[in-house]
Amino acid sequence: RTGRPEAERPQPQDTRAVATSSRPGTVSEVPPRPRGEEEPLPPAQPHELPGSLGHIGNGLGWEGALSITSVSRDRSRWVVFPGVRQAQWLTKTKLVEGLPPAVQGIMDNPALGLQELEERAKHMVSHARLWDTAEAAPRRERYCPVLFENLIHICRLMSGKYPSLSKRMLARNCRVAATWERESILLQVRGLSGILMNSMSPIPPVASKEEILATKEHVLETFYPIAPTIDLQEVNVYKELNDTGFRDGYPYSHPHTLFFLESANVLTDRFRPEQLRAKMLMFAFGNALAKAKALHGNDPKVLEQPVVVQSIGTDGQLFQFMVFQLNTTDLVSNDGVKNLVWIDSDQNLYERAQCVPEVKKGVVTKPAGISGFQPDTFKKFLALYLHGTV
C-alpha cells in the first residue's frame, strides 16, 4: 500500500484504439497491437440471444466459439430456427441423409478387417467409462476426452497396414476465419474449431461432377417472411479475414476431420444434438472455405477441385457424423451449384455404462459393465478416419 488516498492514485490510461468497419455498420473498440507482432484473429464476441436458451441460442451464435457477422441488419425481432436448416441457408448447402458411398464402402469392405477391432473398441469404452478414474463413476468432462483419445489410438493402429495414415497431425485450439457474402450480407465464421486433424493430402471429392451439377436444381429453404439472419449478432467488421490458422508451407496443410467433444458435466452447458450438428456444419464450411480461398483466391467460382472436410461430434456416448463438400465459393445468390453435406445423426456407441453394480436384497441385479455396444458406430468413426487413404 502506498498510503495515498484512492482518489490521488494514478489511474491506468485507456490505450484502446477505435476501429471502423470497411462497410456501413457499428464502431467497436479493439486493443492495440504491439509493433512486430502478427495481427491475431479477432476474438469471437460473447453474447446472449434474447428468447433463446441461455448463451446456446440456436446453435449458430454461441459464446466464444462461432461468431457470424451480419452487417447493417435490422434485428428488431428474434426467433430460434432449427440449427442445421439455418446453417444450410448460410452456407448454400444441400443436405443428404446418411454417409456418402465412399465412406459406406470402407465400412462394408471385409478386406480391411474392421471387425477385428470391435472387441478392442469395446474394451476402450470400458476403460474410459469404468476404469480410468479414482471415483465411483467418472464425470463426463473426464471420460469424454479419454474415450476420444482411445478411439484415435485404435485408428492409428491401422497405420501399419496403411503407412500414409502416419502423415496426419492433430491440432488443438487452432483458430479459423472465413468471410463470405450471402445476398449482399457480409458473414464471417471465426473462432476455435475443435480438434482438427490435418493431412498432407486432401480428401478426394465424394460427389461426382454430375452430382455437383445436379445441385443447380435444388431449392434452398428461405424461412420467408423471416430473414434467415435475423438472430445473428451484428458486430463491426474491421478486416475481412480468411485464415486457415496455419502458416504457408506447413506440411499438414489440408483439413481432414474436425472433432467436437461436448464434455460439460451440466446438461444445460452442452449443445443439444441439433445445435451440435449446426456447429459442426458451420466450422466444416469455414475450414473448407478458408482453404479454398488460400488455394484458388477470393474470386467467387465453382471449384474444379472441391474441398472436402469431415466432422465428428460426441458427448461421450452419442455420435454425430458429417462429410461436407465445398463445390463453390459463389455464395451470394441461391442460384447455381450448391455445396453438399452428408449427415448421419444420433448414433449411440453404447446404450448404458453401469459403473457400480446394482444390488437389491443382496442380489446383483445389474452388474457393472458396458451394455448395448454398437459396433457400427465405431466402424463409422474408423471409416471417416481412413477416408482419403483407403
Taking alpha carbons only, the member of 281, 197, 203 closest to residue 246 is: 197
pLDDT of amino acid 289: 98
pLDDT in tens, 14-26: 433 333 333 443 3
**Pairing status of strand 168-172 against strand 27-30:** unpaired
The C-alpha angle with vertex 149 and arms to 344 and 262, in degrees rounded to 5, equals 55
Residue 334 pLDDT exceeds 90: yes
Other CB atoms closer than 10 Å to residue 170's CB: what's the count? 15
Q: For residues 322 and 78, is the Cβ–Cβ distance under 8 A? A: no
pLDDT in tens, 163-188: 999 999 999 988 899 999 998 889 99
Q: Which residues contact 249 (CB under 8 A, 6 or more apart)?
A: none
- Quick one: CA torsion of 325, 328, 329, 332, rounded to 10 degrees? -120
Taking alpha carbons only, the member of 346, 234, 303 closest to residue 92 is: 303
Mean pLDDT of the chain: 80
Confidence band (pLDDT; 50, 70, 90) for 29?
very low
Q: Partners of 321 in the beta sheet?
A: 312, 344
pLDDT of amino acid 265: 84
* Dihedral pair phi/psi, residue 346, rounded to 5°: 50, 60
Among 46-50, 83-87, 128-132, 216-220, the minimum mean pLDDT is found in 46-50
Average pLDDT over residues 35-63: 35
pLDDT in tens, 265-324: 888 888 899 999 999 999 999 999 999 999 999 999 999 999 999 999 999 999 999 999
pLDDT of amino acid 27: 36
Compare 357 and 245 and report the one with higher pLDDT: 245
Which of 22-44 are b and which e, b meaning 16 or more Cβ less than 10 Å from the residue's Cβ?
Answer: eeebeebeeeeeeeeeeeeebeb
Identity of the residue numbered 238: Y
pLDDT of amino acid 82: 57
CA dihedral (292, 293, 297, 300) positive or negative: positive
- DSSP letter (8 states) at residue 102: H
Task: Name the strand (E) or helix (H) holding 254.
Answer: strand 254-261
pLDDT in tens, 361-377: 777 777 778 889 999 99
